[in-house]
C-alpha cells in the first residue's frame, strides 16, 4: 500500500511542477518564496514547507516528514486544478462528492465513521476536548459539532449525535462543497480519514 502512495506522491509532484508556483500560491492561499522555491502551507494548526527543488515536504517546527499518504493529500490540494475557488458554505458528505463518493462511502464508513462513534458516541465532552486541541471551531449541529480548517481553503465538519440506553450514537464527516473543485475524490476521502485519526489520537495526549 505504501508503494502505491509513493507512486501517487511522485505523480502529484510531477503535476505540481507543471504549475506556476506563484499562481498556485495565490489561488490556494499559501505562501511561496521565489528565492528558495518553497511553498509554505498550514495543515490543521501546523506549518509545512514544500521544497520544489528537491521535492520534499517537512513540518517547519521540527522537520518531521509526513507519510506519503499525507504528502499526496497536501500536493493534491495544491495541484488538482487551477480553479480559484471560494468557500460555498454548503456542506456535503462523502456520498455527495462527484466521481466516486457514493461508491467509496461504505469503506469510509467502516474505516472512519465507526471509529468516531466508538470513540465519542457516548462522550461528547471527550470529543470537545480533543477537537479543541486541534483548533476546531464549535458550531451548532447534532449534539456536538466542530469545524476544522485543514487547508487554507478546505474546511471539514465532524458531527456527533450522542447515544444512550435507548438510542444508538451516530456521526458524520462533512465537507464544504467547494472541495470537489480542489481535490480528487480519493484525496477527499483520505482527508476525512486524516482528520478523524488526528482527533482520536488526541485521546491519549
d(CA 183, CA 80): 6
Task: Classify residue 153 by burial, with Cβ atoms within 10 Å: 0-12, 13-18, 19+.
Answer: buried
pTM of the shown model: 0.93
The SS3 of residue 36 is coil
Topology annotation, domain 91-204: TATA-Binding Protein (3.30.310)
Domain borders along the chain are 2-79, 91-204
Residue range 36-81, pLDDT digits in tens: 999 999 999 899 999 999 999 999 999 999 999 999 999 999 999 9
| Averaged confidence pLDDT in the chain | 95
Torsion, CA 161, CA 138, CA 154, CA 172, rounded to 10? 0
d(CA 157, CA 196): 10
How does DSSP classify residue 64? Answer: P
So what's the pLDDT on residue 2?
Answer: 54
Amino acid at each position: 500500500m505504501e508503494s502505491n502512495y509513493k507512486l501517487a506522491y511522485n505523480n502529484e509532484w510531477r503535476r505540481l511542477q507543471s504549475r506556476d508556483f506563484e499562481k498556485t500560491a495565490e489561488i490556494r492561499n499559501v505562501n511561496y518564496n521565489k528565492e528558495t522555491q518553497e511553498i509554505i502551507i498550514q495543515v490543521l494548526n501546523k506549518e509545512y514547507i514544500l521544497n520544489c527543488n528537491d521535492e520534499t515536504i517537512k513540518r517547519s517546527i521540527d522537520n518531521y516528514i509526513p507519510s506519503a499518504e499525507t504528502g499526496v493529500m497536501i500536493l493534491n490540494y495544491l495541484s488538482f486544478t487551477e480553479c480559484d475557488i471560494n468557500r460555498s458554505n454548503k456542506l456535503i458528505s462523502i456520498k455527495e462528492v462527484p466521481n466516486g463518493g457514493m461508491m467509496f462511502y461504505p469503506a469510509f464508513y467502516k474505516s472512519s465513521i465507526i471509529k468516531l462513534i466508538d470513540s465519542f458516541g457516548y462522550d461528547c465532552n471527550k470529543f470537545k476536548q480533543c477537537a479543541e486541541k486541534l483548533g476546531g471551531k464549535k458550531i451548532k449541529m447534532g449534539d456536538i459539532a466542530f469545524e476544522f480548517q485543514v487547508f487554507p481553503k478546505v474546511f471539514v465538519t465532524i458531527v456527533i449525535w450522542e447515544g444512550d440506553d435507548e438510542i444508538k450514537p451516530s456521526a458524520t464527516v462533512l465537507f464544504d462543497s467547494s472541495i470537489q473543485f480542489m481535490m480528487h475524490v480519493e484525496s477527499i476521502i483520505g482527508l476525512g480519514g486524516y482528520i478523524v485519526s488526528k482527533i482520536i489520537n488526541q485521546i491519549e495526549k
